[in-house]
Chain A
């Protein structure tokens, strides 16, 4: 399958700080998705990106579809304790989505 590399693998930040994570691949994707997974739950869709260069916000979250279509980033502004979880990117090619390796976020109050 396709390989999507997420970085960083884990982050420990203070409450109120901004967060930035990204997802890169050697393959071109037609859609990028960002999910958040709380402990013991299934992933929940945060943001969907459908066009190269697209920049989309959802509250304190902002994500961008890279111009090369091989990468995407997710920013979280003014982090709060409930932002804790694992964030996954997913890229679509054809009818198949491929998931990244995940970024684990810990927010210290």
Chain B
């Protein structure tokens, strides 16, 4: 069963629209991440957070922004969508302090900007 939820699963939207991709986890993990992945390609870290009110940019430059007001919620926002933003966006969370270092991933949001 999924403990990390992403909505929507699929989104087709017009250029210039503002969108927010939702990610929530029920595991109480401090650390959360957003990855961008083109089909069949590698994962690129675009944002991460180590706790409430903490956000950092990842290795891949992105025009998106994130917020972390609550532990369980880590939404990603695109103020003005463009066709170059078409991709799959994966949210993940982890908790190192328990000794279980694995990331748990959501099912992803497949975004298409037309």
A and B form one complex: yes
Where the two chains meet, the residues of A that have a C-beta atom closer than 8 Å to any C-beta of B are 1, 31, 33, 35, 40-45, 48, 50, 86, 88, 90, 92, 95, 97, 99-102, 104
Asked whether A45 and B104 contact (CB < 8 A) given A1-B59, A95-B31, the answer is: yes
Provide the residues of chain B in CB contact with A92, threshold 8 Å: 101
Where the two chains meet, the residues of B that have a C-beta atom closer than 8 Å to any C-beta of A are 6, 31, 35, 40-43, 45, 50, 59, 90, 92, 94, 96, 100-108, 110
Q: Are A41 and B107 in contact (CB under 8 A)?
A: yes
Provide the residues of chain A in CB contact with B43, threshold 8 Å: 43, 88, 99
With both beta carbons as reference points, the residue of chain A lying nearest to B92 in the complex is identified as A42
Question: Within the assembled complex, what's the spacing in Å between the Cα atoms of A35 and B108?
Answer: 15
Q: Separation in Å of the A18 CB from the closest CB of chain B?
A: 23
